[in-house]
């Protein structure tokens, strides 16, 4: 059966997010194994910098693509008229429809992501705290994506 433009856009956005999620999961496994200590933030080895870069890129890209592409694509595939909706309205609608457990949680995750992306902590303790919070937030983003996956199979087959 031929897919609608909305279904194609959703499939593309979802596939992009899955790619980020896979690399993010790998980075998280390695970061947990590496277990960087506060003192080590003073001078990072090349391998650690690469791992942190992988995490930072995939974490921010996944969250951005989920918010800017996947969520609107889901709403369009559900035939919601999102043109007049603000970003907050879209989150609330996804919560109402059962796709997001909490619109407020997503907003909180976005604030953590923005702080992570824009702040440049100076001390090792601050850097460590920022990365720990971002890693916990990334786990939550991945859980939300898993929820979308489960729901897409039942609510948006095809």
Partner 1 sequence: MRLSPEQIAQIRQSATESFGPEARVWLFGSRVDDSKRGGDIDLLVQTRALSADAALQRKIRMLGLLEARLGERKIDIVIEQPGDMRPIVCVAHETGLAL
Question: Smallest Cα–Cα separation from 146: which of 12, 11, 39, 17?
Answer: 17
Q: Among 156, 116, 118, 122, which Cα is nearest to 135's?
A: 116
Q: Given the rule CB under 8 A, which of 23-31, 73-81, 95-103, 120-128 is the region that contacts partner 1?
A: 120-128
Q: Which of 91, 78, 42, 68 is nearest to 155 (CA)?
A: 78
68 counts as binding partner 1 under rule CB under 8 A? no
Q: Are 59 and 24 in contact (CB under 8 A)?
A: yes
Alpha-carbon distance of 2 to 139, in angstroms, equals 35
Beta carbon of residue 102, minimum distance to partner 1 (angstroms, whole number) = 13
Write out the DSSP string of 77-124. Answer: HTT---TT--HHHHHHHHHHTTSSS-HHHHHHHHHHHHHHHH----SH
Residue 103, interface with partner 1 (CB under 8 A)?
Answer: no
Binding residues among 74-93 for partner 1 as defined by CB under 8 A: 87-88
> Does position 132 bind partner 1 by CB under 8 A?
yes
Residue 39 near partner 1 by CB under 8 A: no
Q: Which of 121, 151, 155, 156 touches partner 1 (CB under 8 A)?
A: 121
Nearest-angstrom CA–CA distance, 109 and 67: 11
Where does this chain touch partner 1 (CB under 8 A) — which range of 54-62, 68-76, 107-115, 148-156? 107-115
Q: Which of 46, 122, 153, 157 binds partner 1 (CB under 8 A)?
A: 122
* Minimum distance of partner 1 from residue 145's CB (angstroms): 21
Q: Does 94 bind partner 1 (CB under 8 A)?
A: no
The residues that touch partner 1, with contacts defined as CB under 8 A, are: 87-88, 107-108, 111-112, 115, 118, 121-123, 125-126, 128-130, 132-133
């Amino acid at each position: 059966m031929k897919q609608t433009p909305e279904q194609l856009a959703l499939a593309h956005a979802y596939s992009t997010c899955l790619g980020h999620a896979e690399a993010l999961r790998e980075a998280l496994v390695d970061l947990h194994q590496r277990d960087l200590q506060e003192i080590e933030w003073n001078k990072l080895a090349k391998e650690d910098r690469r791992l942190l870069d992988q995490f930072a890129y995939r974490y921010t890209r996944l969250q951005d693509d989920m918010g800017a592409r996947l969520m609107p694509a889901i709403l369009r595939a559900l035939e919601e008229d999102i043109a007049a909706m603000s970003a907050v309205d879209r989150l609330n609608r996804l919560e109402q429809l059962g796709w997001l457990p909490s619109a407020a949680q997503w907003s909180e995750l976005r604030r953590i992501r923005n702080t992570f992306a824009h702040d440049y902590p100076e001390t090792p303790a601050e850097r460590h705290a920022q990365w720990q919070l971002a890693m916990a937030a990334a786990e939550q983003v991945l859980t939300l994506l898993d929820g979308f996956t489960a729901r897409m199979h039942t609510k948006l087959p095809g």
